[in-house]
Homo-oligomer: A and B are copies of this chain.
Amino acid sequence: MLPVAVDAMGGDKAPDEIVAGAIQAAEELGVPVVLVGRPEELGDTGGLDVIPASEVIAMDADPAKSVRRMKDSSLVRAAEAVRDGKASAMVSAGNTGATMGSALLRMGRIKGVNRPAIATPIPAPGHEHPTVMLDAGANAECSPEMLVQFAVMGAVFARRRYGIETPRVALLSIGEEATKGSPLVKETHALLADGAVEAAGATFIGNVEGRDLMGDDADVVVTDGFTGNVALKTLEGGLKAIVGAIYEVFGSTEETRAAADVLLPALIPLAEQLDPDTTGGAMLLGVDGVCIISHGSSSAPAVVNAVKVAAEMVEADLVGELTAAIRPPE
């Protein structure tokens, strides 16, 4: 397998944690990894090859401008490596918009794909696998046709990533009835109900609500990138607020601290399930290559998981499967 290109400069903890994760991934998973970034800033790369890139796109930089202007940035070079057959996939915890932009610019779209979408795994405690939600923020404005493509791509991804033979695809709305929701949702519902995902081996199960995201009702939940991003961030913020409040109670007296000492080890598996570092990151579906967008706060274990998922998706020929599932408009 060609190496997975890891953007060593992207993320709040770059380059140290990213490099450490890349080294660990290569050692523990046996997956070939190549780092992309400023060689002089990477420290000991543990023998990993480096694709040099002199520029770094900042986390808060304007994505479109940066990608256009910074042709020697680690992000653009990572995407280029995939395009040029020097890497099998790219992984970045950097600027999300610039990661998408670089992938689009250098890898291009899969033939027939209108717009790529970000597929994010939403943890579903107590259930076998997370819920795949897309689009989690690539496209603030969507058409019904785009959402239908997201549904098809999400179904293919859920099958390859989680082994779900016939993924249940749902549409995010504000009520289960087909007549509820925004005009976008109603039109998309009609297209999906008309059999738009059946050719991809999936089943459309109708609308779900925000409360179903962390449950087991659907395998794939489709929405526009604005709503999806709000839902994802709301969930992140909500979990953070509640976990923070619980920890505060745990630490409030000597008695509660002692009780918490007993409970905390038992809570670790749950905490891990909710930690975005464990999911392997989000996937940019629709570009002509495997591209993983990790959380900006990624530390070494997140990079290990992202490299693992990237390698699995390359082995599973995710891009080939997506290409076959997307029929260009006639």
Q: Taking beta carbons and an 8 Å cutoff, which residues of A are in contact with B? A: 124-126, 137, 140-141, 172, 174, 180-183, 185, 209-215, 223, 225-227, 229-246, 248-250, 252-253, 255-256, 258-260, 262-263, 266-267, 270, 274
A210 CB → nearest B CB, Å? 3
**Chain B residues with CB under 8 A of A209:** 229-230, 233, 237
Q: Judging by beta carbons under 8 Å apart, are B246 and A267 in contact?
A: yes
Q: A210-B236, A238-B238 are in contact. List 16 more A-B contacts (CB 8 A).
A: A125-B244, A140-B185, A172-B230, A174-B226, A174-B230, A209-B233, A209-B237, A210-B229, A210-B232, A211-B234, A211-B237, A213-B234, A223-B230, A230-B231, A234-B234, A260-B263
Closest CB in chain B relative to A12 CB, distance in Å: 15
* Cα–Cα distance between A210 and B267 once the two chains are bound (Å): 26
Q: Are B181 and A210 in contact (CB under 8 A)?
A: no
| A183 CA / B140 CA spacing, docked (Å) | 8
Give complex CA distance A172, B124 in Å: 25
Instruction: Report the minimum CB–CB distance from A225 to chain B (whole Å).
Output: 7
Whole-angstrom distance from the CB of A245 to the nearest CB of chain B? 4
Beyond A137-B174, A141-B183, whether A213 also contacts B227 by CB under 8 A is: no
Is the beta-carbon distance between B213 and A238 smaller than 8 angstroms? Answer: yes
User: Given the complex of chains A and B, what is the CA–CA distance between A269 and B139 in angstroms?
Assistant: 40
